[in-house]
Amino acid sequence: MKKKSINNHTILLLITVGLFIILYGAGYISYGVIETKGFEKLQTFLDILRTNAALICIACGMTCVMLTGGIDISVGSLVAMDCMILAVGMEYQEISPTLLVPFVLLIGIVFGAVMGYLIGYLDIQPFIVTMAGMFFARGMTAMICTDQVNIAKSNWFKDLAAIKVYMPFDIGAVVNKRGVKMVPYVNVAVLIALVVVILVFLMLRYTRTGRSMYAVGGSHTSAALMGLNVKRTKMITYILSSFLCSIGGICYCMNTMCGTTTQALGLEMKAISSAVIGGTLLTGGVGNVFGSFVGVLINGTIQSIVSFNADLTRLGGTVPNVVSAFLLFLFIMLQAVFAKLRERKQG
Amino acid sequence: MKSVKDWIKKISKKPLFLPLFSVFLVLVINVIYDAVQGNYIFSFFTFELKEGALYGRIVDILNRGSEAAILAIGMTLVVSSSGGTDISVGSVMSLSGSLCCMLLAGFGVTHVRGPEELQMPIWVGAVAGIAIAGVVGLFNGFLVARMKIQPMVATLIFFTAGRAIGLLLTNNKMVYILLDEFKWFGLGKTWIFPTPTVIAAICIALMVLVLRFTSLGMYVQSVGINPRASRIAGINSAAIILLCYVICGLYAGVAGIVATSRIYSADSNNIGLNLELDAILAVALGGNSLGGGRFNLAGSIIGAYTIQAITTTMYALGVAKAQAPVYKAIIVILIVVVQSPAVKAYFAHRKAQRESLAIAGRS
């Protein structure tokens, strides 16, 4: 039998998963076993998924972009714009969501195509182009409407967002004080996010486009010499990222049911840090969607633990940021150490 | 006729052409706007002395653009030496402002109304604020130079944590320092000039002197072009990169104190928000490659003031503050598209085609 060697990247992924287990375990023991505040319930885990459904979609797109060695910092603003379009369209213009949802997805594709063209074909730095995209989307949000628009009118979008998808076979069901059986549930956004993760994972692993993304990120020149269309691959990556971001925007809107100009501020950095924690390198060529998914879960768990801890909550909403920055530091140090080790092995 | 063409060709190849051209465009738009509005055509260029202080639109732009200009100096060095951007500067500004206000007011105190309530002299607070920014710069530099981590990821740590630590320092509250001595940094005047412009001028002058009288500039460029070769040539690449990050951090601290003093309060959530993007944009507008290597400090500084001029002009034209980013984005895209190698190559190709056609027609 051929012995499978574990390479450094697999180790990074394993560390990510291990860290998630440790972190969640710590929360479980402190707030589920020692103090019974409810962390032990399955619902807590599902709530992490529920609040981060949009981020999961976006982190998948970000992973693809980072695989090609680029970066996309326009995602947060694009989410805000999508939410605003959905909210204003449904509330003020009374357009059916049947039209609006495909329209938002189309906007994502067009937005990504423009940025992808500028980056791929005109060879402009991704940071600058997506920064312009970020300004544009954020400003557009304010142009559409500067107020907070709540979606109050009932339509199928609102009904869809309100659907509770209960766990099958009553997994993790608990009986509360009044004797009512509570079955843990997720919403549709979570299902969308999970489907996105699986599809992007399969795409990166088995399709020509997915493999090209790895190749382009590994080395532009080698990819070009191999006969891959580097420019086209880059453009497709940004289209994919913006498209996934639009899906994320729809998920985000399902959770918040409103559109404001300050929505999803800093979401791009959350997505990037999730991807980095998940083992994706900014230099490109290395990474995994599953890692990014776990990265999002780690960030969500930190937030959840902080919300369970009364002392930390009193300090304000910034504690998760400090903790997640520290974890980010831990991770990139680990990555750096592995990179050094590998260098030594080769050299 | 030919000489004009040649002159245009020659001047458009100069590194400072693009930033200066953008400034020129902004000025033209302002003049046209004044003409349309029926104002005095050159009202953009007028200065007036009111109560011993200089006023005017240009002064306003120079004043408001101070922080971005100060940041752009440090950012230029960072971009040039490491080929990456320091995205933590905005957060670090807020951190240094928060620390300064916290030290001056004492932990948990929200208002300082008189000099007797100060916990320590103002300059100590300011120096401490700048020092902590330098420490953050050292941390970033260590990660980039020694641990070989991509600059953006390394600085992402303090991008996330800086603002948050600032909020923890101020106990999640706004800390007001209602003293004229403290307001001096941001709102005061030195002789007839607004103090921020003077501080920016000092920062620029310091850097220019350092670049002129030491070989730092050359080292930085050489490290940016090829760190390995520079190392072999006897330059301590890691130390140079580290130094650049520390300088960038210190300058971010100075900008943070100015920004804090402008609103005489530590508002962690808003000080320096998105200013790192302006600084990076200024570097790119100045004709510097974000991939590192050769740098042009004057270009970056002009770039920073150009961005401020664009913003001020847009507000003067009646664009709402929240909508201004749309136009900013369009301007940025136009500028980078004109600068992009593909477009340049296309025009060169077109020209070559035309010339060969002309030769063919002649024969």
In chain B, DSSP assigns E strands to: 48-50, 53-55, 111-112, 175-177, 189-190, 193-194, 265-266
Phi, psi at A183, each rounded to 5°: -95, 130
Domain presence at residue B175 = yes
| pLDDT in the model for residue B208 | 94
B219 in a structural domain: yes
User: Could you tell me what percent of chain B has a pLDDT over 90?
Assistant: 35
Instruction: Please indicate, yes or no, if residue B208 is contained in any of the structural domains.
Output: yes
Residue A255: CB atoms within 10 Å = 17
Residue B288 forms part of a structural domain: yes
Q: Is residue B163 domain-resident?
A: yes
With contact defined as beta carbons under 8 Å apart, do B131 and B253 qualify?
yes
Give the model's confidence band at A5: pLDDT under 50 very low, under 70 low, under 90 confident, else very high: low
Residue B13 has what pLDDT? Answer: 67
CA distances from B144 to A163, B79, B280, B330 (A): 47, 12, 18, 33
Name the pLDDT band for A1 (thresholds 50, 70, 90).
Answer: very low
Nearest residue of chain B to residue A317 (CA atoms): B164
Instruction: State residue A6's pLDDT score.
Output: 56
Which range among A228-242, B29-43, B257-271 has the greatest average pLDDT? A228-242
- Looking at this predicted complex, what is its ipTM? 0.80
* CA atoms B346, B347, B352, B355: torsion sign: positive
Of the CA atoms within 13 Å of residue A296, those in its CB half-sphere come to: 30
Whether residues B323 and A142 touch (CB distance < 8 A) is answered with yes
Instruction: Decide if pLDDT at B255 tops 80.
Output: yes
Tokens at B130, concatenated: 């700048």
H/E stretch holding B195: helix B195-213
Q: Higher confidence at residue B170 or residue B132?
A: B132
Look at the pTM and tell me if it is higher than 0.90.
Answer: no
pLDDT in tens, A70-103: 889 899 999 999 999 999 999 888 888 899 999 9
Instruction: Give residue A2's pLDDT.
Output: 45
Count CB neighbours of B145 within 10 A: 25
Give the model's confidence band at A253: pLDDT under 50 very low, under 70 low, under 90 confident, else very high. Answer: very high
Is the residue at B231 inside a domain?
yes
* H helices present in chain A, as ranges: 8-28, 42-51, 53-67, 75-91, 97-120, 126-144, 156-162, 188-206, 208-218, 220-225, 230-256, 267-277, 289-308, 310-315, 319-346
**pLDDT score, position A52:** 93
Interface of A with B in 308-347 (CB under 8 A): 315-316, 318-319, 321-322, 324-326, 328-329, 332-333, 335-336, 339-340
pLDDT digits (tens, 9 = 90+) for B16-63: 777 777 788 888 888 888 788 777 767 777 777 777 777 788 888 899
Distance of alpha carbon A77 from alpha carbon A263, whole angstroms: 8
Query: What is the distance between the alpha carbons of residues B140 and B159, in angstroms, rounded to a whole number?
Result: 11
Residue B177 — φ and ψ, nearest 5°?
Answer: -115, 95
8 Å CB contact of B322 and A328: no
pLDDT surpasses 50 at A232 = yes
List the 282-311 stretch of A: residues with Cβ below 8 A of B. 282-283
Tell me which of A115, A127, A129 to substitute to probe the interface with B (most B C-beta atoms closer than 10 Å): A127
pLDDT mean across residues, chain A: 86
Contact of A248 with A52, CB cutoff 8 Å: no
Strand partners, A175: A181
Does B336 map to a domain? Answer: no
A43 alpha-carbon distance from chain centroid: 20
**Given pLDDT bands bounded at 50, 70 and 90, which one contains residue A220?**
confident
Q: Which two tokens stand for residue B114?
A: 């008189």
Lowest mean pLDDT among A4-13, A24-33, A143-152: A4-13
Measured in angstroms, the CA of A200 and the nearest CA of chain B are apart by 24
Structure tokens at A112: 């990504």
Report DSSP state, residue B144: I
Using the beta-carbon criterion (under 8 Å), do B168 and A319 form an inter-chain contact?
Answer: yes
Torsion of CA A155, A159, A161, A162, to 10 degrees: 140
Instruction: List Cβ neighbours of B159 (8 Å cut-off, separation of 6 or more).
Output: A269, B87, B88, B90, B91, B276
CA A118 to chain centre: 24
Q: State the Cα–Cα distance between residues B334 and B240, nearest whole angstrom.
A: 34
> CA B105, B109, B115, B120 torsion: positive or negative?
negative
Evaluate if residue B205 carries a pLDDT over 60. yes
Residue A53 phi/psi, 5° resolution?
-55, -45
Query: Which residues form the domain of B122?
Result: 15-318
Element (H, E) at A186: strand A185-186
Cα-based distances in Å from A52 to A72, A299, B73, B77: 19, 9, 38, 38
Q: How far apart are CA A60 and CA A200, in angstroms?
A: 7
Domains of chain B: total? 1
What radius of gyration do chain B's Cα atoms show? 23
Instruction: List the single residue in A132, A140, A315 with the smallest CB-CB distance to B332.
Output: A132
pLDDT of residue B15: 67
Which of B234, B207, B267 has the alpha carbon at shortest distance from B75?
B207
Q: Architecture of A8-338 per CATH?
A: Orthogonal Bundle (1.10)
Contact B167 A316 (CB under 8 A): yes
Nearest C-alpha in B relative to A132: B329
pLDDT at B112: 86
Residue B175 Cα distances to B85, B181, B253, B268, angstroms:
31, 16, 18, 10
> Measured between beta carbons, which residues in chain A are less than 8 angstroms from residue B149?
332, 335-336
Average pLDDT, chain B: 87
CB B101 within 8 A of CB B182: no
State yes or no: pLDDT of A263 exceeds 50.
yes
Q: Is residue B329 part of a domain?
A: no
Residue A3 has a pLDDT of 47
State pLDDT tens for residues B65-112: 999 999 999 999 999 998 888 999 999 999 999 999 999 988 888 888
Beta strands B193-194 and B265-266 are unpaired
pLDDT at B327 over 70: yes
- Nearest 5°: CA angle at B108, between B184 and B119? 50
Domain ranges for chain A: 8-338
Q: Which of B70, B41, B44, B38 is nearest to B57 (CA)?
A: B44
Say yes or no to pLDDT of B149 above 90: no
Closest CA to A75 of A92, A91, A95, A57: A57
pLDDT of amino acid B200 = 95
